[in-house]
Amino acid sequence: MWNDMQAEDGMDENLRGIAAKAVRNSIWETLPVAEQPSITLIRWSVREIHSGERHFVGYNPANHEGRVSTAILSFDPRTGHGVTCSGRIYHLVGPSGRDRDGEWVWTHWVHAQKCSTWSDVSPEFENLIAEHRKEAIPEKGGD
């Protein structure tokens, strides 16, 4: 009888349904931009999908959550601020990196968007930030 209830991969259909519901319930709508106009991301990265859109991925410490942004419209390397299609401002803090929660959300976002290919373009953003920091530091010169 037990074997009759299991799927080909050995997972009981009831258990499969519970797991699917848990995944659906662990991704939620974000607050409206009017309520949360800016978000700080740590352990951030920038991903480019097949269409050329780029998205911030990382950890939002204020809400204790992994985050994937809407497409990036602009980025100011002097401030580390980026504006996305939603109108929200993302502030990148610290070095780029990987965050387990951010990666989990990204994996599910990519699947939901049927996005088959993407690349990590974080080094490009890190280089832009580093270049602008160098420009901001006055050179010491002898008189």
| Tens-level pLDDT at each residue, the chain (143 residues) | 334 444 555 667 775 655 454 444 456 578 899 999 999 999 999 999 999 999 999 999 999 999 999 999 999 999 999 999 999 999 999 999 999 999 999 999 999 999 989 999 999 999 999 998 877 666 665 55
**Pairs from 5-9 (Cβ < 8 Å, separation ≥ 24):** none
Backbone φ and ψ of 12, nearest 5°: -60, 140
- Domain positions in the chain: 35-136
Q: Which pLDDT score is estimated for 21?
A: 47
pTM: 0.77
Which residues, in sequence order, are bridge partners of residue 60?
A: 65
The Cα diameter of the chain in Å comes to 90
Q: Which pLDDT score is estimated for 137?
A: 65
Q: Which pLDDT score is estimated for 8?
A: 54
Q: Which pLDDT score is estimated for 139?
A: 61
Residue matched to tokens 């991969």: 9
Residue whose C-alpha is closest to residue 115's, from 26, 58, 53: 53
